[in-house]
Amino acid sequence: MACSPEDFPQLWQKPAFELLFDCLQQLRVDPPVWNFKISRAEIQREQDTTVQLRRQVSAYLSNIIKSNLDWIEDEDLREELWTEASKRLSERCGRAAMGEITRCWPFERSDHAAFELAIREPPLTGDSLGLKTWGSSYLLALMLGQFAETSMRHLLAADREGGPATALELGSGTGLLGLAAAAIWKSKVVLSDLPIIMSNLVFNVEQNRQIIESLGGQVDSGALTWGGEEDEIDQEIFHKKHEYQIVLAADPLYDDEHPELLAGAIHDQLCLPSAARALVMVPRRDETTVNLLSKFRQIMEQQPMPLVCVEEGLVPGQDDWEEDEDTPQVECWWGVFQRTDV
């Protein structure tokens, strides 16, 4: 924050629009891209160094919102100041309160090719959790290179006949994981989610298509409601079952019905040969998510052609959902599944 409380244009002095607007721009708080070596509390302290300072800034912003700003004659300019002050205040109230944002997420491939993906997140409304980029999607995206060199090398090796395998991401949300997979694996990846999520997902796919294609990847997207009716599924893309050699999913379990729906979607979309793989990450935030994960693993083994976990691990991750600056890190489970009865 370049502007300190001592430098704030005071309302009793009736500052000009330009002074107030410039101050509000300097008070902008950009949403952090996760750094798993730095806690969210440390990031927040860098942005607003003390509790007292945060209170001063919030009080100042609230005063602008409450003021009629009657010394500024142009009503449109007054509206602009109220809007900017409201945005600055919401930026300090946690991700749930933020308006539309775009984050740039950095990556580096094993061949040292560095790139960024620009991901738009609209304001959160109702139950549209797919409009938010969850921490586990970035964490799993950062691990994609190691899977390409180990348990999934037979599917992603550059010298593989026909090239790297085609992948499908289930519950793509804002698309970060699937887009990263296309760029890192130099493969074709199809991103999917509920119809109500698709508008923003398609936007992010198109926004990043050029950089992904320049890195040797391909992307496509289509609506896919797990267990849904025909009008909830893109029939042009998903008209046949068992088409994908890799299926990805990050943070897909947050309702009692999800374990069965996700397991069914993986069974329906994953190729039948045992060489195919499903890669899933689930943050173990609480007892509920731990139980959902256990249920999911059981149902995977109960599919017509059982899907068993052949490799798994735990890694530390984090979310930025809560307003509380002391939000702890979240332990994230990952697992690689394959069919055993084909």
Winning range, highest mean pLDDT, from 41-55, 78-92, 229-243: 229-243
53, pLDDT greater than 80: no
Region of 303 (left: φ > 0; alpha: ψ -120 to 50; beta: rest) is beta
**How far is Cα 217 from Cα 63, in angstroms, rounded to an integer?**
50
Average pLDDT of the residues in 87-102: 71
State the number of CA atoms in the 13 A half-sphere of 314 facing the CB.
Answer: 6
Residue 42 has pLDDT above 70, yes or no: no
Task: State yes or no: pLDDT of 124 exceeds 70.
Answer: no
Distances (CA, A) of 63 to 27, 57, 82: 15, 10, 10
What pLDDT band is residue 144 in, cutting at 50, 70 and 90? very high
Distance CA(147)–CA(336), nearest Å, equals 9
pLDDT, tens digit, 9 for 90 and up, residues 308-334: 999 999 998 877 554 444 455 789 999
Residues 274-291: pLDDT tens digits? 899 999 999 998 899 999
14 CB neighbour count, 10 Å cutoff: 12
CA distance 134 to 340: 31
Exposure on the CB side of residue 135, measured as CA atoms within 13 A:
26
| In the predicted structure, residue 127 carries a pLDDT above the cut 60 | no
Residues with Cβ within 8 Å of 102's Cβ and at least 6 positions away in sequence, in order, are 118, 119, 120, 121
In order of 14, 56, 131, 217, the CA distances from 137 in angstroms are 47, 35, 13, 18
Question: pLDDT per residue over 179-218, tens digit each?
Answer: 999 999 999 999 999 999 999 999 999 999 999 999 999 9
> Who contacts 38 (Cβ-Cβ below 8 Å, separation ≥6)?
none
